[in-house]
């Protein structure tokens, strides 16, 4: 059971709740009791109703939902900058997979995930949809730092030091999931790596298990043109058509990337209620292509935003991603009205929550929801003057302007200082890993 937290009244200059859409409140306060938001009301009413509450004044700040990173490989922060400027398959086969084979362990994943969480919290991210190995280590790192994590349990056909085959990956995934049942901040998904690393039989088993255990599925799909060409050669169809025939699109599925989509595929994704995790920086860095995000959103597909791993980005900066998502959509579509600022902010918050099945808990500032929030100081020269705080949050803000973060009501980042982790210790451990990895 979570420890009791004093009732807090947060008094910012602006409150941006995300829902109702395109709404900005001034002269309002947000009240938190324990894990939840209990009031969003005019400031005078909040002060009168809760006279004993702790007051937190945020005079130049926009208060908004915490950002939701819809696709990441958190532990790969320890491989940040290890291999750059390469196409996806060379990057994986010649550098990342060999390095992982030599170093990835329970300790590596725990330490790398804590480093990722330190970076994400300081940038206003309060929830991450992860995909990696050593699933229990990911969950422990999140609980250790009081961070909300969806733990994606990677599943492949080939052996790694973590598991020998698909059955072994699945068995370890289910064991880890059972270990953390009932934890408020933790949920699990099955994460088949990609169509080119997972067989039809394994996909069918994952679909059955997801249905039986009410689990989501998280998978890289249509990331590169080569992936599609290889599928056409091996299976005679594009990956999405193959997965649709297997029934994967009838499951709660977060498809990471979806860079290459035809009109027919966009219509199918919309019909099936699919969720897409758009990763603009990683797609650009690996030259994977430009996703048709504006068309996907227009079709009614729920599109959230992710950073991908720090080894291919090279940072877990959701502010950079949402700005890039908005700008790329305008350039790719030729429409300056594509993804306006309010919609980009929605993609980075509520859309991510919807994709994870957490829309009733997080993603907007509504009474009854978990108090996952961040405060952004707009007093800096780069965000002055401020005619529209939503515009600044998307087009002008730097992540260093995040001053305060709450997760499930706990003030985990206060006036630019971490409260739930020891940053010096994490950095010291990171230097240990760097020395170990670069000597191989």
pLDDT-wise least confident of 89-103, 318-332, 388-402: 89-103
Rounded CA separation 347/322 (Å): 8
Query: Which letter does DSSP use for residue 277 in this model?
Result: E
**Coil, strand or helix: which one is 311?**
helix
Q: Residue 210 and residue 71: Cα distance in Å, rounded?
A: 19
What band does 1 get if pLDDT is binned at 50, 70 and 90?
very low
List own/partner pairs for 284-288 with CB under 8 A and 24 or more apart: 284/324, 285/84, 285/312, 285/313, 285/314, 286/86, 286/87, 286/88, 286/91, 286/224, 286/312, 287/87, 288/88, 288/223, 288/224, 288/257, 288/259
Beta strands per DSSP E along 3-73: 8-15, 25-26, 28-33, 36-42, 54-65, 67-72
Residue 120, classified by CB atoms within 10 Å of its CB into exposed (0-12), middle (13-18) or buried (19+), is: buried
Q: In this predicted structure, what is the pLDDT of residue 206?
A: 98
CATH topology (fold) of 67-355: TIM Barrel (3.20.20)
In the three-class reduction of DSSP (H, G, I as helix; E, B as strand; rest coil), residue 172 is classed as helix
Residue with the bigger pLDDT between 439 and 106: it is: 106
Average pLDDT over residues 235-244: 98
Beta-strand pair 216-221/373-377: unpaired
Residue among 74, 134, 82, 143 at smallest CA distance from 104: 134
Strands 253-257 and 216-221: parallel
> For the chain, what percent of residues have pLDDT higher than 70?
99
CATH of domain 8-65+370-408: 2.30.40.10
Cα–Cα distance measured from residue 200 to residue 206, given in angstroms and rounded to the nearest whole number: 10
Quick check: bond before 132 cis, omega within 30? no
User: For position 83, what pLDDT does the model report?
Assistant: 84
pTM of the predicted model, to two decimals? Answer: 0.97
DSSP-assigned states of every residue in 349-412: THHHHHHTT-TTTSSS--TTSB--EEEEE--SGGG-S-S-HHHHHHHT--GGGEEEEEETTEEE
Tally of CB atoms within 10 A around 49: 14
b or e along 193-212 (b: 16 or more beta carbons within 10 Å of the residue's beta carbon)?
bbbbbbeeebbebbbebbee
**Is the pLDDT reported for residue 74 higher than 60?**
yes
- Give the per-residue pLDDT at 3: 60
pLDDT tens per residue across span 280-292: 999 999 999 999 9
Please, what sign has the CA dihedral across residues 66, 344, 283, 292?
A: positive
Q: What residues does each domain of the chain span?
A: 8-65+370-408, 67-355
Residues 177-227: pLDDT tens digits? 999 999 999 999 999 999 999 999 999 999 999 999 999 999 999 999 999
- N-to-C CA span, the chain: 44
Average pLDDT value for the chain: 96
User: In the prediction, which pLDDT does 178 show?
Assistant: 97
């Amino acid at each position: 059971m979570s420890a009791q937290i004093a009732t807090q009244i947060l008094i910012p200059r602006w409150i941006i709740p995300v829902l109702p859409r395109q709404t900005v409140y001034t002269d309002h306060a947000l009240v938190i009791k324990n894990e939840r938001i209990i009031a969003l009301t005019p400031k005078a009413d909040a002060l009168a109703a809760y006279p004993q509450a702790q007051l937190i004044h945020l005079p130049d700040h926009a208060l908004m939902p915490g950002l939701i990173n819809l696709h990441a490989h958190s532990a790969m922060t320890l491989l940040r900058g290890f291999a750059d400027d390469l196409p996806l398959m060379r990057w994986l086969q010649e550098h990342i997979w060999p390095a992982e084979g030599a170093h990835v362990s329970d300790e590596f994943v725990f330490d790398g995930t804590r480093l990722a969480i330190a970076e994400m919290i300081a940038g206003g991210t309060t929830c991450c949809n992860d995909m990696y190995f050593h699933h229990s280590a990911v969950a422990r790192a999140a609980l250790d730092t009081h961070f909300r994590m969806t733990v994606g349990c990677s599943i492949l056909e080939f052996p790694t030091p973590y598991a020998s085959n698909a059955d072994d990956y699945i068995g370890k995934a289910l064991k880890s999931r059972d270990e953390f049942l009932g934890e408020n901040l933790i949920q699990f998904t099955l994460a088949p790596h990609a169509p080119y690393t997972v067989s039809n039989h394994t996909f069918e088993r994952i679909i059955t298990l997801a249905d039986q255990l009410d689990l989501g599925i998280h998978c890289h799909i249509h990331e590169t043109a080569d992936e599609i060409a290889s599928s056409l050669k091996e299976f005679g169809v594009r990956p999405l058509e193959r997965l649709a025939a297997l029934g994967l699109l009838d499951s709660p599925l977060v498809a990471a990337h979806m860079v290459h989509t035809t009109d027919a595929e966009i219509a199918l994704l919309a019909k099936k209620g699919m969720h897409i995790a758009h990763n603009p920086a990683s797609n650009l860095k690996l030259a994977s292509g430009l996703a048709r995000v504006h068309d996907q959103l227009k079709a009614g597909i729920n599109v959230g935003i992710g950073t991908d791993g720090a080894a291919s980005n090279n940072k877990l900066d959701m502010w950079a991603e949402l700005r890039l998502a908005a700008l790329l959509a305008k350039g790719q579509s030729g429409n300056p009205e594509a993804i306006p600022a309010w919609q980009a902010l929605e993609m980075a918050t509520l859309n991510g929550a919807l994709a994870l099945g957490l829309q009733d808990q997080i993603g907007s500032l509504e009474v009854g929801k978990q108090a996952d929030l961040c405060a952004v100081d707009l007093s800096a020269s780069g965000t002055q003057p401020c005619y529209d705080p939503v515009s600044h949050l998307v087009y002008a803000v730097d992540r260093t302007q995040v001053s305060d973060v709450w997760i499930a009501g706990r003030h985990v980042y206060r006036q630019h200082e971490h409260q739930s982790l020891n940053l010096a210790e994490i950095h010291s451990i990171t230097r240990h890993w760097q020395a170990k990895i670069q000597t191989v």
